[in-house]
Amino acid sequence: MSVEVDVEDVIEELLETLSDALGLDAEVDVRREGDTVTGTLIGDDLGLFIGRHGQTIDAVQHLAQRIVFRGRPSELRIVIDAAGYRDRRAGALRRLADEAAEEALRYERPVALDAMVASERKLVHEHLRERGDVDTHSEGDEPDRHLVVSPAERD
């Protein structure tokens, strides 16, 4: 017997439970746009929930996916955010990617970035793909997998 879960309700309950357990003064907002459900904590002093380099919200996002999908594949994407962290991090990663691309072109050599989670590496790959003057690839094993930016191969 399959039980359908209301994804938005599950995400809201999870975030409220975690917020209460951590003693955070935060409001929970859950929205569905297309095939993405985003659960966000809104408030001040959410650093504990975000964690170092977003590790805590990444873990909560993974937990939310495990709870909702229970190991089954899904077209739905779940994103957990706090105080606009995801947008700020994406902007910082794009700037970092552009700096690495400029350095790779200036010195005509590959530039290795620090280790990143898969979703962040994907964002950088996609951002730099649009330039056309650099190539990217990932190297290493998790959790030390990182991205390398190189001048594009010329024909």
DSSP 133: S
SS3 94: helix
Is the separation of the CB atoms in 121 and 128 below 8 Å? no
pTM recorded for the entire structure: 0.81
Alpha-helix residue ranges (DSSP H) falling in the chain: 7-21, 47-50, 55-69, 85-107, 118-129
**How many Cα neighbours within 13 Å face the side chain of 43?**
18
Ramachandran bin of 75, using left for φ above 0, alpha for ψ from -120 to 50, beta for the remaining angles: alpha
pLDDT value at residue 71: 78
pLDDT value at residue 96: 97
Tokens of 135: 């190539």
Domains of the chain by range and CATH? 7-83 (3.30.300.20), 88-151 (3.30.1370.50)
Query: What are the per-10-residue average pLDDT scores of the chain (155 residues)?
Result: 72 96 95 95 93 90 91 88 94 97 97 92 94 94 92 81
